Amino acid sequence: MKTRSFKKTKRIALVAHDNMKDELITWATFNKTTLKDHQLYATGTTGTLVEKALDQPVIKFLSGPLGGDQQIGASIAEGKLDVLIFFWDPMEAQPHDPDIKALLRVAATWNIPVACNRATADFIFTSPLMHQDYEAILPDYSSYTSRKI
């Protein structure tokens, strides 16, 4: 059984669609003290807004539609991110919807915590597991990678 280690200091990706950026900033500001204990990553504009609101450095990827969602997905697959907070807008079609679905699929594949709304983010951040080392069990996908074409 393979596992993935999450250290006490988590590497957290923050993403928000345009109509959800204010909600994410409000949530991040409310959780400012907790977020200071972690390393933050974000897509372009969201990262700039979070950095300003929290007065904390944020490692920024490209804007989501320009490839930032894919960069975050690749970082998850490489084991470089531990938590995904993605406030997406369920009421508005996104031109980069395939990228969004791919990002969520990668997060599920690598068994990392994902919050798509404030309530879920609150539950994740108030979990004792958020504040300690954690070993996540990785699903066994060997049957998918050993298939003959």
Q: Reduced to 3 states, what is the DSSP secondary structure of residue 113? A: coil
Which one from 22, 37, 55, 69 is the annotated catalytic residue? 69
Report the alpha-carbon distance of residue 149 to residue 134 in Å, rounded: 37
Report H helices in the chain: 21-30, 32-35, 44-54, 68-77, 97-109, 118-126, 142-145
- Does 69 qualify as catalytic in the annotation? yes
Residue pair 19/89 in contact by the 8 Å Cβ criterion: yes
Give just the sign of the alpha carbon dihedral 65, 50, 59, 119.
negative
**In the block, residue with structure tokens 């066994």:** 140
For 76, other C-beta atoms within 10 Å of its C-beta total 23
Residue pair 23/118 in contact by the 8 Å Cβ criterion: yes
For the annotated catalytic residues, the residue numbers are 69
